[in-house]
Every structure is written in structure tokens, then in C-alpha cells.
Amino acid sequence: MDNIKDTLIEQCLDILKRDDVKNELKQLMKPMIDLILQELYPYIFLSIVFVFISFLLILGIFVLLLRNKLLIKSPVAIFK
């Protein structure tokens, strides 16, 4: 029983390795993948916008920290 199962799996893999079968599978799956991508595009776009806004906020915080550090050069100078 196990031998039949192995040979069947091996034959299926051999069939899937052929170029014509690969091309047919690609052509068969292309409409489904296009539909899935079309449904996901708004979410991908929103994710990119949120990452960009997050980058700008972090950059602004970094600039404020640098500006604050340059204004206060030494904490000892405050007490003199």
C-alpha cells in the first residue's frame, strides 16, 4: 500500500515538473491571483501611507531631539 502511494506521488511530481503543465497552471491561477491582488491594493496602499507618516513622525522627533541637544550644550553651564 505504501509503495503504491509513493509511486503515485512520484508520478504526480513528474507531471508537475513538465514545462507545459507549469504554463497551464500559471494560466489557470493568474485570474485568481489578479482578483486577490485587486482586493488587497487599498490595504497595501494604506499600509504604505502609514509607514510613510510614521517615518515622518520619527524624523521630526529626531530633529527636535537634536535641536534640543544643541541648545543645551552642557548641564554644568546652567549652574555657573
The dihedral sign for the CA sequence 54, 59, 62, 68:
negative
pLDDT digits (tens, 9 = 90+) for 22-78: 999 999 999 999 999 999 999 999 999 999 999 999 999 999 998 888 776 655 555
What is the grid cell recorded at 52? Answer: 510613510
pTM of the model: 0.54
